[in-house]
Structure 1
Amino acid sequence: MTALALSVLAGAGAGTLQAETLTIATVNNADMIIMQELSPKWEKKTGNKLNWVILEENVLRQRVTTDIATNGGTYDIITIGAYEAPLWGKNNWLVSLDDFDSSYNYDDIFPTVRNGLTADGHLYAVPFYAESSFTFYRKDLFKAAGLTMPANPTWTQIEEFAAKLHKPDQEQYGICLRGKAGWGDNMAVFGTMVNAFGGRWFDMNWNPELDSPEWLNALTFYTDIVQKYGAPGTPNNGHNENRAMFASGKCAIWVDATSAAGYIYNPKESSVADVTGFASAPSEVSEKGNGWFWAWALSVPKSSKNEDVAKDFLAWATSEEYINLVGEEKGWVAAPPGTRKSTYANSDYINAAPFAKTVQKQILSADPANPSAKPVPYTGVQFVAIPEFQGIGTYVGQMVSASLAGTMSPSEVLKASQNYARQEMTRSGYIK
């Protein structure tokens, strides 16, 4: 075992604890799979065991939300994000995570990320990785077609490129975008597109604006580009499906999470590692909110009976030492991105990850308090940080997916979405 690995085994939060079995619910993406693969080191150090429940993103949210809202106690550790952490912390559903020992180095976490997981001055989740969104593209295909991707493209330019590179008879698709319904799935991409087209979810009096011209322009564009130049099955494709298609060489352009860069640039996982370029997330009439902000984080429900042991695992799995361990054992390109200053001061990571500084800039420039060309009463770039958004965003995501599938027109989708949002905001007392 390497010297660094040995140091991790003696890492943050270590102590003499009664051996327990923890149940951890997490999402089925590449970074979390690596965490599962490396967790036996923590188990060996502490004598504790982990029972893994690995779920697709939408299913994870449904199960965790139901369990924590009912005080079910099914999970000792849950994977949540920048939407849930402050809301659930305020509801007293989560254990405060302010008391790890000094070796954890809270100050090393980017303030933007830490603040996104904080409520009333308390940290309720610790970040495993953080992300914004940007544009992946195939440099070889662009060069062969005589095209140049600008550093800051517009959606109109992206469509022009996609049209020229779309060759479905060769299984080469102009663009791959999320279409699977979900407030954190297709609405992550489409929500930032709405921002780029100048739209917003609510006006300053909390009246929904989903039937606005900006929303209609965005949805008409989204539907057209997917139907004309997208991959087959887009209405059912989420992040993982698109990542697999891009990594196998089937997509000329892909707009999605910056956290996927470690996978795409890893030649062990991706056939296009040496021919992928990147640019900022597309803008259009506005540059505000065109790249999302998100953090996948680990938290402990108040209903857990193993709070201390769970916190010990969190301190280990989100530490600088853990990031170094991933770099040593899985390659530095696979290190969890976006959370700690030390990662971006590490020459091993910078040399292995050509996208590193761009990702850092995208994450730190995201402004959840100012996500739209028009003023808004909420925070959140691709989501609205109110409890009601989970239901509203899920419904709108289903409607938007229907537009991609061609079963509803964009105007029909937005009329239904506006009515639903107004109903929910009235029921909740935001408007009369």
Structure 2
Amino acid sequence: MNIFAKSTVTCAVSFATAIMATHAAAATEITVATVNNGHMIEMQKLTPEFEKAYPDIKVKWVTLEEGVLRQNVTQDIANKSGLYDVMTIGMYEAPIWAERDWLQAIDVSGDYDVEDILPSIRGGLSYKDTLYAAPFYGESSMVMYRKDLVKNAGMEINDRDSWDHIRDVAAAVHDPSNGVYGMCLRGKAGWGDNMAFMSTMANSFGARWFDEDWKPQLESAEWKSAVNFYVDLLNKYGPPGASSNSFNENLALFNEGKCGMWIDATIAASFVTDPKQSKVADQVGFAQSPYKVTEKGANWLWAWSLAIPAATKNADAAQTFIRWATSKEYIELVGNKNGWAAVPTGTRTSTYENPKFQAAAVFAEAELKAINSANPADSTLKPSPYVGVQFAAIPEFQAIGTTTGQMVSGALAGSMTVDQALKSANVSADRQMRQAGYY
């Protein structure tokens, strides 16, 4: 090879290398903060599919336990730190943070098909009719139970049973000597942990967080009745250490065959009916949540959703990722890869209309019924000034709900009485509301 030809080749190689280096340098890295739930972990596993479709974007994951995630993203967005480009939030945060200009609106243009998102889910993630968080999966709550154990005990479970009947079923199937506990419920402290469940139970007992003048009502007869029932139920028929259990812990117990009943997020249905995860997959039944004196607010409404903090420097890349992860095409990708019973649900009408999903998901009808029955604008028997089923959509609630959760968890663990727990919670809530100027 002559010198000129050799030089030409060298230049061509150097030029190609420079282009590749420039392209690599130009790739935008986005940091996604999310919760350590099954569907989010699957989204993380599918990152190569996204990066193949969008080679100029790289995704870095920060996956956290639910309570830690809430704390971290709240601190980050309030301080405008910009640590995260995409954060996983829910129906509580979305409208409150949007009102404060902490979030960027979601791009719903083109083929995203925002009208396909279930109306109650879309409404809960919007502020002034603008979507500020895109739902990755939505949920209500319902009863999941072992059909074999209930039948063998000569009992039945139906939609909207009374709490008294549910307690009787728990007693009938409770068999701790054989590793089976009659009832599994959230006990871990947190406004989105034990209080998500406890609020719906209290609603059904006729309770409310605040009266029409925003005075906390945690020492009311309805709250005391509900929390006493809950503590008694879990202490008699729950697993040991129930005050430490939240969604993931109870899911593991149920999948091991250790729970006769579990009342929690509808999203769990896809996991407890998956033979790869659950030892009792073929024995799971579903029913609408129980109630005491009213069906109002007896089951919650929530959506784990992806949002873009205003402080991000990578808004375009963040929008691209969110549109991909919350699209009909993503649901199709998961369905084809992992089976249609494993897709993230509770977000799009098209999912429930899909024959493949209908055939694979034995829980589909019960899940959609629960989601459609929840009404955040009318969730309490007595009039209340707030919107929300398992929370009150005001900025102060996060602190109030967290403190109340700690008190209720303490009562469950036996470190204080129910009356002491609710008195302490009410005093704290009253102080918060006074300081915030509600009265």
TM-score bracket, normalised by the shorter chain, equals over 0.9
Give percent identity, aligned residues only.
52
The residue type paired with residue 257 of structure 1 is: A
The residue type paired with residue 94 of structure 2 is: A
The residue type paired with residue 325 of structure 2 is: A
Q: Any unmatched runs of 5+ in structure 1?
A: 1-16
Q: Does 1:83 align with 2:92?
A: yes
Q: Give matches, 1:356-367, under 5 Å.
A: 356-367=364-375
Aligned match for 1:139, one of 143, 147, 155: 147
1:169 aligns to what?
A: 177
Cα-to-partner distance string for 1:378-431 (whole Å, 9 max, x where unaligned): 000000000000000000000000000001100001111111111110000011
Aligned match for 1:37, one of 36, 45, 49: 45
Cα-to-partner distance string for 1:139-198 (whole Å, 9 max, x where unaligned): 010111111112221211111011111111111001000000000000011110100100
Which whole-Å CA distance do the structure 1 matches of 2:384 and 2:29 have between them?
45
2:75 aligns to what?
A: 66
Cα-to-partner distance string for 1:38-91 (whole Å, 9 max, x where unaligned): 121111111121111000000000000001000001000000000000000111
Q: Does 1:122 align with 2:130?
A: yes
Q: Does 1:247 align with 2:255?
A: yes
Structure ID, larger Rg? 2
2:378 aligns to what?
A: 370
Which whole-Å CA distance do the structure 2 matches of 1:121 and 1:351 have between them?
34
Give the secondary-structure state (helix, strand or coil) at the position aligned to 1:300: strand
Which whole-Å CA distance do the structure 1 matches of 2:159 and 2:31 have between them?
44
The residue type paired with residue 334 of structure 2 is: V
2:3 aligns to what?
A: none
2:105 aligns to what?
A: 96
Quick check: 1:27–1:60 contact (8 Å CA) kept in 2? yes
Quick check: 2:118–2:347 contact (8 Å CA) kept in 1? yes
Quick check: 1:181–1:400 contact (8 Å CA) kept in 2? yes
Cα-to-partner distance string for 1:194-238 (whole Å, 9 max, x where unaligned): 001000000111011100000000010000001010011110111
2:217 aligns to what?
A: 209
Aligned match for 1:228, one of 236, 239, 242: 236
Which whole-Å CA distance do the structure 2 matches of 1:141 and 1:96 have between them?
48
The residue type paired with residue 307 of structure 2 is: S
Which whole-Å CA distance do the structure 1 matches of 2:362 and 2:90 have between them?
26
Which whole-Å CA distance do the structure 2 matches of 1:100 and 1:131 have between them?
22
Quick check: 1:19–1:46 contact (8 Å CA) kept in 2? no
Cα-to-partner distance string for 1:304-340 (whole Å, 9 max, x where unaligned): 1100001000000000000011111011111111100
Which 4+ residue blocks in structure 1 deviate beyond 2 angstroms?
none
1:185 aligns to what?
A: 193
Which whole-Å CA distance do the structure 1 matches of 2:96 and 2:159 have between them?
36
Which whole-Å CA distance do the structure 2 matches of 1:405 and 1:108 have between them?
44
Give the secondary-structure state (helix, strand or coil) at the position aligned to 2:240: coil
Greater fraction helix: 2
Quick check: 1:126–1:314 contact (8 Å CA) kept in 2? yes
Quick check: 2:142–2:266 contact (8 Å CA) kept in 1? yes
Give the secondary-structure state (helix, strand or coil) at the position aligned to 2:281: coil
Quick check: 2:159–2:289 contact (8 Å CA) kept in 1? no
1:18 is displaced (CA, Å) by 4.9
Aligned match for 2:296, one of 270, 288, 297: 288
2:16 aligns to what?
A: none
| More moved, 249-258 vs 355-364 | 355-364
1:407 aligns to what?
A: 415
The residue type paired with residue 262 of structure 2 is: W
Which whole-Å CA distance do the structure 2 matches of 1:18 and 1:106 have between them?
31
State the TM-score, normalized to the length of structure 1.
0.95
State the TM-score, normalized to the length of structure 2.
0.93
Which whole-Å CA distance do the structure 2 matches of 1:256 and 1:61 have between them?
19
Which whole-Å CA distance do the structure 2 matches of 1:36 and 1:281 have between them?
32
Cα-to-partner distance string for 1:219-267 (whole Å, 9 max, x where unaligned): 1000000101001111011100000100110000000000110111111
Cα-to-partner distance string for 1:338-393 (whole Å, 9 max, x where unaligned): 10010010010011111101111111111000001111100000000000000000
Q: Any unmatched runs of 5+ in structure 2?
A: 1-24
1:100 is displaced (CA, Å) by 3.4
2:4 aligns to what?
A: none
Which whole-Å CA distance do the structure 2 matches of 1:46 and 1:393 have between them?
40
The residue type paired with residue 63 of structure 1 is: N
Structure 1 residues 138 and 373: CA distance shift in structure 2, 3 A: same
Which whole-Å CA distance do the structure 2 matches of 1:251 and 1:121 have between them?
42
The residue type paired with residue 45 of structure 1 is: A
Quick check: 1:25–1:77 contact (8 Å CA) kept in 2? yes
The residue type paired with residue 190 of structure 1 is: M
| More moved, 99-108 vs 250-259 | 99-108
Quick check: 1:201–1:210 contact (8 Å CA) kept in 2? yes
The residue type paired with residue 69 of structure 1 is: A
2:14 aligns to what?
A: none
2:343 aligns to what?
A: 335
2:65 aligns to what?
A: 56
Q: Does 1:315 align with 2:323?
A: yes
